[in-house]
Structure 1
């Protein structure tokens, strides 16, 4: 049984009226409101055939999206037809349709438009990553297994690829990709099995690409989450994030994908799940690939997504880079800027920062100042040991790594070089230098940062720590006294990353 959508529903709205369509919805844009209608259709993955099903779907969509965008989702409204045949929201008669009422925002406020216009910067992307991490931390934990998510997605993708347009993708290239994806799946089964116990299986967004994120009142806002099948949204939080990373890479924003990933990792602390990211990004790209491949017009996009999925499964030229120097030399700025172009996977290197790790080890907020006993020689030894352990595990998984720490002792520098050797990757160290007065001015001007360094810390470091000597050939001195642009240029020259 099917309850068709009213054919005259556009008469509800005052002109001028704009109408936007997706394959499952129709959105009416009128004044300061957007009204979303579910099309009366049945697909393999959803059923909106009856009026009651559409009402339930509208109510569920409002409920779920109010987790992240309560200011946008105003409610679910009944459309009634009176005895004269007129439609209204307040008239007599039984409901003949249900609509979602939303606050309207400019169409160019979505992140895909911002990316195309070159208006997505590092600060906005880091704000977005913080927003996603906070959402994931509050999202409901679910009784689901990451292994089942992948199994279901692989089966769905295989069936969808069989429906692709003729001559869009060859059987041979799809067979090779499927085999590579299955191999990665089998390799990651043990880690996938740990995600539920680690608390990383949550009711996430499920459809976290750039078109479903908008800049509302100068704040990244997640909207239009996946509502029609809880099983598709009850997923690993890293799989949720992977859609955003894949979309940024598809838009050519490698640097922003790297920033988003590293900021999310700092906020969530989910470094243990990182080896799953190649599989997750490839799955997300494969979904976009088979959607594009449904029509001959999507052939170019389909090939682009397939190439991205294939590249996500390959690590190329992974390396370990250490950025050292006294507090205030700008290590974190240099580490973050270098990371995107350091090889490994398409999203670049993972940045491990001692200031962040020290606080994560103690269960403290990143901007919470630690007591002096957190900076004893033994506490620092434990921090550096954890830093190198994390780096080795990531390097063994194929990721490039940038370590951001002072490295003011010979044994610390020797240990990081040994870690690179044990993982059979190239190593390079950068030692940033600046005059005492510059360092003190910089640390005094910090706000909202994970570093607890003060002028007194800078004085102590200059008196008790030592820069690399001339015989430590893997380390290069970089003048960091100038502005950011000049320092980055010198760092890149000392450590080519292109």
Structure 2
């Protein structure tokens, strides 16, 4: 029996003296690589494997893919990916690392080592993923996608047909051992029906340049916190079919992963932040994309079952079935609806909107259209930059509310729920948002938030880093002229965030979702 031809290199990389230090070497292993952690560096050796989707079988191929991994990951993590080095054999038979002479036995990607507790999947388990981190993550992904190389001729409905049928074949292999036949059939038929509905949208997105060289494996374990910033790493370099994809399909893996971990609120926040920077077209395809991502995790996890026994086997099977159930939930979404959240400045409209959104409509929840953010966007300034008083003239406000109406109609037409967040102090504003729902043929509900004026003034004067420019002077002026609208549900927000959110959920008939 022939041994592993890479074993001499593995043994060499496992010794502390290879790196010139006395410290221990920690070794991690995946199904495609060995990673050696020594000092402040991580050294990644690709295994000499050959799968249908990946070929690392020769030294030259491994070198080529190491160089590709370095170049592609430097797009998002330039401080993490340092260089490619060779393990070489000198004429006397000894092995060296990083020298230029001798025969190259194998190639390594050299990375800056980071604390494994900074991985986002680990942080999620500890409950350390915060809303500001989700905002930073969404910004990082949006910027990455905007700069990514386009892939003309790739993607579109044809690519998704391959995903759907590939998933179907893999899921059917696990019928009886892991999955129930009827559940697999519902997912497969649901994906096929969804694909049929959005074929044109997928092709339009392909033709519009939304298919790009993306990350391809964008889940929480491939995101870490480096120098206080969410950092994407370990993108797909070995197969263009996995990397040249629709940007929204790239994002959908992260959204699905957050959702699966019980963090739908974070998924909704990431989606809203991303859409505010990248546009709202393409939402119609999101349920199919999420279902495909969950189905992939279902059959990949199911494949592990055969190699396990006892409790581990049952745990993996249960996890695979959970992913399949999640895929099915994306294919049977809630209908679209429009909720307007109004009230004087400081009543907590934006806080309430963020709390309601995850439970409203298609996963991961409603699109939030906030007047303060849209006004800043119209003027081309950052959300937290103050605007001059002229930006609040009546004619400007008409532009802002016209934009809210336009975007709300666009999102509703794609089957997604909308929360419109604004003061709604004028009858024409209230009538306008209700008319959007009527034209879209979806239900409309208005929530009017109220709290003591003294508390409102205190809240707005204490706000920092927020999109609103309101002050206590603005609150006093609003209170003197604005009256609650007829037909809107009145919600008392003077008693705290949780109480007002519970009252609003009850008014809308929504469940509590994290």
TM-score by length of 2: 0.87
The alpha carbon displacement at 1:211 in A equals 0.5
Q: Paired residue for 1:25?
A: 33
Q: Matched residue pairs, number? A: 490
1:164-220: CA deviation from partner (whole Å, max 9, x where unpaired)? 486222444333322211111121122212224544332221110011011222221
Residue equivalent to 1:419: 436
Question: Which residue in the other structure is 1:81 paired with?
Answer: 89
Looking at structure 2, the residues matched to 121 and 369 of structure 1 have their Cα atoms a distance apart, in angstroms, of 25
Equivalent residue for 1:333? 351
Q: Does 1:277 align with 2:278?
A: no
Alignment of 1:9 with 2:16, yes or no, is no
Matched, 1:167 2:173: no
Provide the rounded CA distance (Å) in 2 between the counterparts of 1:119 and 1:299.
Answer: 28
Bigger CA drift: 227-236 or 237-246?
227-236
Of 46, 54, 67, the residue aligned with 2:54 is 46
Following the alignment from structure 1 to structure 2, what is the Cα–Cα distance between the partners of residues 151 and 303? 23
Q: Distance in 2 between matches of 1:229 and 1:419?
A: 44
Post-superposition offset of 1:481 = 3.9
Distance 2:51 2:289 in 1: 25
Q: Distance in 1 between matches of 2:68 and 2:195?
A: 32
Q: Counterpart of 2:205 in 1: which secondary structure?
A: coil
RMSD: 2.6
Deviates more, 1:38-47 or 1:212-221: 212-221
1:238 aligns with 2:244: no
Any conservation in 2 of the 1:420–1:426 contact (CA below 8 Å)?
yes
Tell me, in whole angstroms, the C-alpha distance in 2 between the residues paired with 1:442 and 1:38: 55
CA distance in 2, matches of 1:181, 1:492: 31
Partner in structure 2 of residue 214 of structure 1: 224
Residues 28 and 408 (structure 1), Cα distance of their counterparts in 2 relative to 1, 3 Å cut = same
Counterparts of residues 133-144 of structure 1 (less than 5 Å): 133-143=142-152, 144=154
- Equivalent pair of 1:4/1:49 in contact (CA under 8 Å): no
Structure 1's unaligned 5+ residue stretches are none
Q: Deviations over 1:455-498 (max 9, x none)?
A: 55444433443322xxx23x122333454345434544554422
1:229-268 superposed Cα distances (whole Å, 9 cap, x missing partner):
23421222211110000001111111111111112222x2
From the superposition, tell whether residues 108 and 454 of structure 1 become closer, same or farther in structure 2 (CA, over 3 Å): same
Q: TM-score, normalised by structure 1?
A: 0.90
Residue 73 of structure 2 corresponds to 65
**From 101, 106, 113, the counterpart of 2:115:** 106
The CA deviation at 1:78 is: 0.5
| Structure 2 portions without partners, runs of 5+ | 17-22, 306-312
Change (3 A) 1:341 1:200: same
Q: 2:141 aligns with which of 115, 132, 143?
A: 132
Pair 1:480 & 2:496 matched: no
Corresponding residue number in structure 2 for 1:431: 448
188-197 or 31-40, which deviates more = 188-197
Tell me, yes or no, if the aligned pair for 1:141 and 1:200 is still in contact at 8 Å: yes
CA distance in 1, matches of 2:372, 2:478: 15
- Which stretch has the larger CA shift, 349-358 or 280-289? 349-358
- 1:162 shift after superposition: 5.4
